[in-house]
Amino acid sequence: MNHYKKYKKTIKEGVRKARRKRDIWINELLADESCIYCGETETCTLAFYPDNKEIRIVSRSKGLREKLRLPILERIQKNKIVCLNCESKLKNDIQLSPIL
């Protein structure tokens, strides 16, 4: 029984590590970006609009090989980079205009 528990723990840790790496991949992409509406640059406040949730879910579920990342990058290119503040304004139908 201990073997099984140990094995299970190892798998869980592996999954967690893989997820963390894939989250870092997203954060690295956002590191040089800023909100197109207000210019916010803080990576942890940036999101893809409108597919932020799906992009992050798909990114977590796929490996980091280029072939697996290309469809995610394509999806990201169809999105805008916004901060969470502006994202909630957009979701509430508040009109925003890009600063650039």
Contact residues for Zn ion (CB under 5 A)? Answer: 35, 37-38, 40, 83, 86
Q: How far apart are CA 78 and CA 41, in angstroms?
A: 20
Indicate the residue among 71 and 98 with the shorter CB distance to Zn ion.
98
Indicate the residue among 22 and 30 with the shorter CB distance to Zn ion.
30
Please report how close the Cβ of residue 99 comes to Zn ion at its closest, in angstroms.
9
User: In this structure, are residues 36 and 98 in contact, taking their beta carbons and an 8 Å threshold?
Assistant: yes
DSSP string, 2-16: HHHHHHHHHHHHHHH
Please report how close the Cβ of residue 51 comes to Zn ion at its closest, in angstroms.
17
